[in-house]
Amino acid sequence: MKMPKPLDRNDYKPLYAQLGDNLIEYIESNGLKPGDPIPSENELIKYYGVSSLTVRLAMQRLSTEGIINRIQGKGTFVAERRIKAPVEGIVSLKKRLENEGFNIKIVFVEATETHPTRYHLEALRLSEGSKCLKVRRVLRAAYGVLGVETMILPLGIARRFDQEEFKSEPFEELLNRNPETRVFRVLYRIRSSPVLDLEAEIMNVPVDSLALVQYGIFYNKHDKPLMSGRVTYLSEKLELECEVRLEQKSLQESIDIRS
């Protein structure tokens, strides 16, 4: 079995991002199937000579993306492929909450130029080495923090806008101001996932607290990706309910927010 390839400490990518990409390549090149084990955190620390934080960040990323499954006391395994089913009429959770009458306030955290992970490179159809703008913001409801949104935009898209606008404007509304970046369709995925370290700190919850994560890739009318990212909601605060009427082929959605 091939071992993961070495890390390049002179590379522009952070070590944890390189490690995550290397583990994906390790899984693919060895033909690992769901349920097969991958090297443990301790084995990776010893093999690469990196810190436990670097390995944990890489593992968190792969777990969040549904590539691996960490089982306490047993180890880390290739995750089962999730069943995906399209749902007509689904919109962003934030928009649904606002439509239900909840006042959602945006609190800016940071905006930095970064080399995105392999996931975002593929989602945005960017070449290796491309840089993007990463914007992280907090969504607050009346009772406190509801969630954290982290969006990745290619620099060519981000530079069309005043950077101050990213601090408070809803992303969809901002993109829709420019005909070339008007959002034509969005591919959403919603699933449960543990929160990342920084998200846990922002939301003041323990690391690995369960969250409801909405991933999104936004496209213009030419089907060009404009933005990709995630919005992490505390699952203890949010409950989704869907009703499907088979005879009418329609969908009714409701959202319950808990204080």
Q: Is the pLDDT of residue 130 over 50?
A: yes
pLDDT at position 82 is: 57
pLDDT at position 192 is: 79
The 10s digit of each residue's pLDDT in 199-211 is 888 888 887 777 8
Q: Which of 29, 49, 78 is the last residue of a domain?
A: 78
User: Per-residue pLDDT averaged across 108-123, rounded?
Assistant: 93
pLDDT at position 217 is: 94
Q: Which residue has the higher pLDDT, 33 or 100?
A: 33
> Does residue 85 belong to any structural domain of this protein?
no
Domain of residue 151: give its range: 93-257
Burial label for 253, CB within 10 Å (0-12, 13-18, 19+), is middle
Let me know: does 131 contact 97? Beta carbons within 8 Å. Answer: no
Look at residues 69, 80, 67, 73 and name the one whose alpha carbon lies nearest to residue 23.
67
Residues 161 and 41 in one domain: no
Residues 162 and 73 in one domain: no
Residues 132 and 21 in one domain: no
Q: At what angle do helices 15-29 and 52-64 cross, to 10 degrees?
A: 60
pLDDT at position 85 is: 45
> Does residue 2 belong to any structural domain of this protein?
no
> Does residue 136 belong to any structural domain of this protein?
yes
User: Per-residue pLDDT averaged across 128-134, rounded?
Assistant: 94
Residues 59 and 146 in one domain: no
Let me know: does 160 contact 179? Beta carbons within 8 Å. Answer: no
Radius of gyration of the chain (CA): 19
The 10s digit of each residue's pLDDT in 61-95 is 888 777 888 887 888 999 876 544 444 444 566 67
What is the length of the chain?
259
> Does residue 118 belong to any structural domain of this protein?
yes
CA dihedral 233, 100, 84, 30 (to 10 degrees): -20
Distance CA(41)–CA(250), nearest Å, equals 46
> Does residue 4 belong to any structural domain of this protein?
no
pLDDT at position 87 is: 45
The model scores a pTM over 0.75: no
How many folded domains does the chain comprise? 2
Residues 62 and 107 in one domain: no
pLDDT at position 219 is: 93
The 10s digit of each residue's pLDDT in 145-155 is 888 999 999 99
Q: Which of 78, 103, 131 is the last residue of a domain?
A: 78
CA distances from 2 to 23, 31, 49, 161 (A): 11, 10, 18, 45
> Does residue 204 belong to any structural domain of this protein?
yes
Residues 112 and 143 in one domain: yes
> Does residue 42 belong to any structural domain of this protein?
yes
